[in-house]
A and B are shown apart, each in its own frame.
Chain A
């Protein structure tokens, strides 16, 4: 196929994060040795991050349907109807490992990625949230991680122009070597103008949009799935740099071409950019995709097909365009100063064909790249049930006042003002309830409807009893929504765990997912989007199980929303519930 292909050795296969049996699967599937570009494509498609190979089996059991759900898990983001012809698009995603290595850029590009997921579907982002977990405050790295991550989240969101309205921050020594950055974005969309990744029609142009491709983050996708070793900082994997300015232009240009009815299908380039986006568009549409890779706008000279297919440069999109709209779409992108290049076309072959100056670099069955990804039912050990302790056995240590003082002094309960004041939480002029309450409340356009939005999880509960902890996270999100007067509608999850190849970690994962599922079913509070981040582990020490829940609820009339502040002197204080 390609004379320059390096020999595919077992070492090379291992470096691509593929296990020998996974490589065998590739050989069986294509009936020959893959080229290096093909190996790269498989490694990107079949890693944990893209294929969900350890988690997929368990996620199938989630409660995902309700009459108001327009799009459940499986697209860029979930969509729920809120009436009046409007829908809400939202999702949460992790950027944990990159934020540990380069806190500012890692967090920034995490926010950028989730915003793109939302506006790729045609929605204008109206709110962002984030859930952050850091190591012990006394750990030498914690301080700089906190300031870098918070500045990065703010730096991207503030510049892009979305209000960051809420979130959570926790500290625990178990995150010393693996902090968590979970970012959520919420957008508003007209139900008749939703865009999906599914390509249709043969011979339609495949268009590259946004910033140029560089060599950044080429091993990003694999990095996100490999356990950290002590030498992580030495390996210095390339971290992507975010350009919120380019993303803001991309948002405006995308919404403009969508409004002008130019788009058949669109997909953002996230992890393993061009590969994942092209495969997804083709596979979902039962079509092949051919790319002439030399047409991809590049930032650097001499990039190989392998590099272009695996680059994780930010602020890029792939689109299938209505052919008659080519000139119009291109003019819009040029006006916003963005790259626009026709890089390929849809074909009837169901093959993923990559050519570089005419030379075939990869020729793979497109559906199988996704569908035939390995699927593991990894062995798991249920977390042993803890005995229920009688009240009397927990002797009081000191007075009530001591206990209160201890609680108030805990970094986990301290005011988070230092964090959320670095986020523009007021831009767009709809933030009715600002950070500091139970849920954020964001008005829909000029009202009277509003959304309540929250992120919640209590990792210590999840560790003590994954099933109950999973339930509790969902219930807490539900409670935070109803506390503002909202009707809870749906959630996105973001499941952060340690190494799934360890049965006790897998046990935590399975338990939490069951708990989430149970609570969602009982509350009719479906999961419409989610993200899994595994291998959050350093030198064999895993993080606390942290299944973050992002909940969204609807308030019919924002004038009736409740907030946590006491309103006047002399009012009665009631406690309800058990």
Chain B
């Protein structure tokens, strides 16, 4: 699998993403500069990493969403290529219109860094096939604005089309407000695009791929993408 990690000014979890791709998928991703207007040829997966692109000034992801490389990312997505936006990457995807909805301030108004439970809602996407539907995994979050909001119509569509990939949950998959770390509508942690080839996800699977870091629950996401790409090839 050929992957590329986009570096925006202010990105800061790109090294974590690079390491996870190397450890789980077995190949070193290319790092692409935000000012580039093309992706390396043959790219299968583009990762928009976590961080504070442009300081998260104005609105999270707003300025990055309008940088030259995003036209290339849009083209890649239109052609069916995989795009994974983690945390700030998710915010950028929403701001650029590649995914619907917005990410607002956390309901408790504070940045939150902790490990949360995530329920895998559906195992038919490239980003979830590494897990079983209904499986609960544990992955860290680290964000101040991850409170997903969408209007009723969008939400109905997301639910109906099986586009909600991950939800915040309790140890046994319970969807209770106390497990909903940031107050997101319908406990949404991650959604996919209409064609299921773009995922926006607030939590950080890339930080849970090594036993030494306490858990390997994040590996399934990367392994699933690898499998998807190798099958397609």
The interface of chain A, by Cβ under 8 A from chain B, is 151, 154-155, 158-161, 243-246, 248-249, 336-337, 420-432, 434, 443, 446-447, 558-559
A248, B212: Cα distance in complex, Å: 28
For residue A432, which residues in chain B have a CB less than 8 angstroms away from its CB?
212-214
Is the Cβ of B12 less than 8 Å from the Cβ of A248?
yes
A336, B57: Cα distance in complex, Å: 17
Let me know if B107 is at the binding interface, CB within 8 A: no
A137, B190: Cα distance in complex, Å: 39
A161, B56: Cα distance in complex, Å: 13
Option from A154, A244, A425, A427 in Cβ contact (under 8 Å) with B13: A427
27 A-B contacts, Cβ less than 8 Å apart? A151-B111, A158-B52, A158-B142, A159-B12, A159-B52, A159-B55, A161-B13, A161-B51, A245-B52, A245-B54, A245-B55, A248-B12, A337-B9, A421-B110, A421-B112, A422-B110, A424-B111, A424-B113, A424-B142, A426-B140, A429-B16, A429-B19, A429-B213, A430-B213, A432-B214, A434-B214, A446-B19
Q: Mark B13-32, 1 if CB is under 8 A from A, else 0.
A: 10110011000000000000
- Give residues of chain B (111-142) contacting chain A, Cβ–Cβ below 8 Å: 111-114, 140, 142
Is the Cβ of B9 less than 8 Å from the Cβ of A422?
no
Let me know if B40 is at the binding interface, CB within 8 A: no
For residue A248, which residues in chain B have a CB less than 8 angstroms away from its CB?
9-10, 12, 52
For residue B10, which residues in chain A have a CB less than 8 angstroms away from its CB?
159, 245, 248-249
Is the Cβ of B207 less than 8 Å from the Cβ of A447?
no
Is the Cβ of A428 less than 8 Å from the Cβ of B55?
no
Is the Cβ of B52 less than 8 Å from the Cβ of A421?
no
Task: Quote the shortest CB–CB distance from A84 to chain B (angstroms).
Answer: 18
Known A-B contacts: A423-B113, A426-B204, A432-B213. Give 20 more (CB < 8 A).
Answer: A151-B110, A158-B113, A158-B142, A159-B12, A160-B12, A161-B12, A161-B52, A244-B55, A245-B10, A245-B55, A248-B10, A248-B12, A249-B10, A421-B112, A422-B113, A426-B113, A427-B12, A427-B142, A427-B207, A429-B16
Is the Cβ of A425 less than 8 Å from the Cβ of B9?
no
For residue B144, which residues in chain A have a CB less than 8 angstroms away from its CB?
158
Q: A159-B10, A245-B10, A443-B212 are in contact. Are A428 and B16 (CB under 8 A)?
A: yes
A188, B41: Cα distance in complex, Å: 35
Q: Which residue of chain A lies nearest to B206 when distances are taken between CB atoms in the complex?
A: A429
For residue B206, which residues in chain A have a CB less than 8 angstroms away from its CB?
429
Option from A159, A249, A431 in Cβ contact (under 8 Å) with B213: A431
For residue A245, which residues in chain B have a CB less than 8 angstroms away from its CB?
9-10, 52, 54-57
Q: Which residue of chain B lies nearest to A429 when distances are taken between CB atoms in the complex?
A: B16
Q: Which residue of chain A lies nearest to B57 when distances are taken between CB atoms in the complex?
A: A245
Q: A159-B10, A245-B10 are in contact. Are A426 and B55 (CB under 8 A)?
A: no
Task: Quote the shortest CB–CB distance from B11 to chain A (angstroms).
Answer: 8
Is the Cβ of A425 less than 8 Å from the Cβ of B113?
yes
For residue B56, which residues in chain A have a CB less than 8 angstroms away from its CB?
159, 245
For residue B114, which residues in chain A have a CB less than 8 angstroms away from its CB?
421
Is the Cβ of A244 less than 8 Å from the Cβ of B52?
yes
Is the Cβ of B12 less than 8 Å from the Cβ of A558?
no
For residue A429, which residues in chain B have a CB less than 8 angstroms away from its CB?
15-16, 19-20, 206-207, 210, 213
A385, B153: Cα distance in complex, Å: 74
Q: Which residue of chain B lies nearest to A245 when distances are taken between CB atoms in the complex?
A: B55
B interface, size bucket: 20 to 34
For residue A249, which residues in chain B have a CB less than 8 angstroms away from its CB?
9-10
Task: Quote the shortest CB–CB distance from A109 to chain B (angstroms).
Answer: 15
Q: Which residue of chain A lies nearest to B20 when distances are taken between CB atoms in the complex?
A: A429
For residue A559, which residues in chain B have a CB less than 8 angstroms away from its CB?
212
Is the Cβ of A154 less than 8 Å from the Cβ of B16?
no
For residue B110, which residues in chain A have a CB less than 8 angstroms away from its CB?
151, 421-422
Task: Quote the shortest CB–CB distance from A23 to chain B (angstroms).
Answer: 43
For residue A421, which residues in chain B have a CB less than 8 angstroms away from its CB?
110, 112-114
For residue A423, which residues in chain B have a CB less than 8 angstroms away from its CB?
111, 113
A151, B214: Cα distance in complex, Å: 27
A159, B87: Cα distance in complex, Å: 13
A244, B112: Cα distance in complex, Å: 18
Task: Quote the shortest CB–CB distance from B34 to chain A (angstroms).
Answer: 11
Q: A337-B9, A427-B13, A558-B212 are in contact. Are A422 and B112 (CB under 8 A)?
A: yes
Task: Quote the shortest CB–CB distance from A154 to chain B (angstroms).
Answer: 5
Select the residue from B15, B113, B144, B207 with max chain A CB neighbours within 10 A. B113
For residue A243, which residues in chain B have a CB less than 8 angstroms away from its CB?
55
For residue B19, which residues in chain A have a CB less than 8 angstroms away from its CB?
429, 446
- Give residues of chain B (193-219) contacting chain A, Cβ–Cβ below 8 Å: 204, 206-207, 210, 212-214
Option from A154, A161, A246, A336 in Cβ contact (under 8 Å) with B111: A154
A244, B52: Cα distance in complex, Å: 9
A443, B211: Cα distance in complex, Å: 13
Is the Cβ of A426 less than 8 Å from the Cβ of B212?
no
Task: Quote the shortest CB–CB distance from B109 to chain A (angstroms).
Answer: 9
A534, B144: Cα distance in complex, Å: 35
Q: Which residue of chain B lies nearest to A430 when distances are taken between CB atoms in the complex?
A: B213
Q: Which residue of chain A lies nearest to B211 when distances are taken between CB atoms in the complex?
A: A559
Is the Cβ of A336 less than 8 Å from the Cβ of B112?
no
Select the residue from A151, A161, A431, A558 with max chain B CB neighbours within 10 A. A161
Task: Quote the shortest CB–CB distance from A443 to chain B (angstroms).
Answer: 7
Q: Which residue of chain A lies nearest to B213 when distances are taken between CB atoms in the complex?
A: A429
Is the Cβ of A426 less than 8 Å from the Cβ of B9?
no
Option from B52, B57, B142 in Cβ contact (under 8 Å) with A426: B142
For residue B54, which residues in chain A have a CB less than 8 angstroms away from its CB?
245
For residue A430, which residues in chain B have a CB less than 8 angstroms away from its CB?
213
Task: Quote the shortest CB–CB distance from B96 to chain A (angstroms).
Answer: 20
For residue B51, which residues in chain A have a CB less than 8 angstroms away from its CB?
161
Q: A245-B10, A245-B52, A249-B9 are in contact. Are A428 and B15 (CB under 8 A)?
A: yes
Q: Which residue of chain A lies nearest to B11 when distances are taken between CB atoms in the complex?
A: A161
A559, B210: Cα distance in complex, Å: 12
A276, B25: Cα distance in complex, Å: 49
